[in-house]
Structure 1
Amino acid sequence: MNLQLEIDRMFGGCAFARPLFYSYPGGLRFELSETGGVIQQFQTALLKSTKICSDIFLDDATLVACLRVHSGSNQFAHRSRIHALRSAGINIPTQRSVWSEKIDPEEWLCESEPEYWINVAFEAPATLLQAFLWCALASDFGVIQPNPECAVYLFNLKKHVMVFPYDDRGMDVVGPNKDFLSQLYRQHHIYLLGYDRHTMDSTFQGLAS
């Protein structure tokens, strides 16, 4: 399967738009970390995200992960992350989809050379769910290791839903499967981000009744 094409088809080309919750209306946004020191914030975020995602990938043997890296002219920047991923127990298989997207020049960090998003998508055992979440949430904590310093997107293509833990503060869950999202809305209502709760309530309260 060409994962790039399947992801683009299923999520209408919006899977990697930022912010995802606003770019793909009708989804869920969860609040993760709370007050406390760095370790406590990280542990709370990992606990919450694992609990929610365990229901998303319940009874599934595999998931699809996409690692997204900001790169300069070197379109093989993902290779520098491999050691940290292996330390987390994640090995990128030979069967994978790799593609690059040129970033709008107005968003370049350095004006001297083109910049890209490098995407590496592959199928992985669902038992690695917490390892992927660890890598995603560690990205903003220099003291938390291993840290591959890349964005992590998780897909359940069978259920037509995707997960983006954008940092330790929050996680977006979107997709065309509104019945399943409504189920998550009910199951994890206490974790919904308060700032966007009215938007989610207007979408799912009728479905949840």
Structure 2
Amino acid sequence: MIKNLYSFLNQNFEGLILEPPLLYSWSNGIRFEISNPIIPHYAKENLKQTFQRSITLFKKVFDERDEILLVADVLTTSNNHFLQRKPLNVYKKYLKDKDLFYKLHHQLFVRFFEDEVDQMVIHRFILQCKKDTIRYAPLLKAICYEDFAHSSTILKNNQESGYEIYFVNLNKKIIFHLYDDRGCDILAADKEDIRYLYEEFNDWILDYDRKRIDRLFK
């Protein structure tokens, strides 16, 4: 499974490292604004918009027959052993087929930050699955609501840790990264494979990056 991810990246996204901000690490990408910056993030109407936009984009990118790599990175200290006691909720709560849990692959990376006293590590979990085996709607909602006091919070008992979740479409060669309630990066090996997103959801593009994205598709 790990080889599947890295061979896919090498063949289609040469040089790309799965870490935010993805948009600035690859030329063929779009950043969509998910929440409304004019109103408070916790406002009911804003929470509704974040979920509606994220689920709409996800459904446009992933079809039922697509092979998907669900990649979850957890950044924490090397002495934090909560993952050994309780598996990451992304896979425990959001997989319909619990047998898939046993096909989960784990990888450990060590990260060094000059201003950190404790050594930081990244636990990467990789699972190959399909759209209909993931409870993707509540998972996307949990990502959107991560910064709020919400019951769906993925790491609610381990707030000293952070996480990133990537959905990799092996068939369409597209990477989907909803980084939080503010935005979503969608990358493609070939820009033409996401032109339909640029055209259909043009008014959702984040204004800060609009000039860069417009130049890509002109």
Deviation per CA, 1:122-167: give whole Å up to 9, x if none: 02331332233123222222x1222113321111111111011111
**Matches for 1:162-201 after TM superposition, within 5 Å:** 162-201=175-214
- The answer to whether structure 1 residue 148 and structure 2 residue 154 are counterparts is yes
2:28 pairs with 1:26: yes
Cα deviations across residues 33-90 of structure 1 (Å, max 9, x unaligned)? Answer: 1124514322211110111110100343552211110121148654545357534556
Q: Which amino acid aligns with 2:187?
A: V
**Structure 1 residue 24: Cα displacement:** 1.4
Aligned residues: 201
Distance 1:87 1:15 in 2: 27
> How far apart in 1 are the matches of 2:200 and 2:17?
24
Which stretch of the first structure deviates more once superposed, 95-104 or 190-199?
Answer: 95-104
| Structure 1 residue 103, shift from structure 2 partner | 1.2
Give the direction of change, closer, same or farther, for the CA distance of 1:121–1:84 in structure 2 (3 Å limit): closer
- Paired residues for 1:39-188 under 5 Å: 39-60=44-65, 62-74=67-79, 77-79=82-84, 80=86, 82-83=88-89, 86-88=92-94, 93-106=101-114, 110-111=116-117, 113-127=118-132, 128=134, 129-141=136-148, 143-149=149-155, 150-188=163-201
Summarize the Cα distance change of 1:122–1:89 in structure 2 as closer, same or farther, 3 Å threshold.
closer
**Which stretch shows the higher mean deviation, 187-196 or 15-24?**
15-24
Q: Distance in 1 between matches of 2:190 and 2:92?
A: 33
Mapped partners of 2:62, 2:76: distance in 1: 30
Residue 6 of structure 1: aligned partner:
7
Deviates more, 1:167-176 or 1:145-154: 145-154
Which deviates more from structure 2 when the two are superposed, residues 161-170 or residues 74-83?
A: 74-83
**2:176 and 2:89 mapped to 1: Cα distance?**
24
What are the Cα deviations for residues 101-123 of structure 1, in whole angstroms up to 9, with x where unaligned? 211332x6x31x32111110102
Distance 1:189 1:84, change over 3 A: closer
* SS of equivalent residue, structure 2 residue 101: coil
Amino acid at match of 2:16: C
Shift of residue 13, structure 1, vs aligned partner: 4.3
Please give the alpha-carbon distance, in whole angstroms, between the structure 2 residues aligned to 1:124 and 1:43. 28
CA contact (8 A) 2:92 2:101 kept: no
Contact 2:66-2:171 within 8 A present in 1 as well: no
- Tell me the distance in 2 between the aligned counterparts of 1:132 and 1:16: 19
Q: Provide Cα deviations, 1:145-203, integer angstroms capped at 9, x if missing partner.
A: 22113321111111111011111010000121221111211121121111111111100
Counterpart Cα distance in 1 of 2:183 and 2:174: 17
Q: Distance in 2 between matches of 1:7 and 1:147?
A: 30
**Paired residues of 2:5 and 2:69 also in contact (CA < 8 A):** no
- What CA distance in whole angstroms lies between the structure 2 residues aligned with 1:41 and 1:59? 29
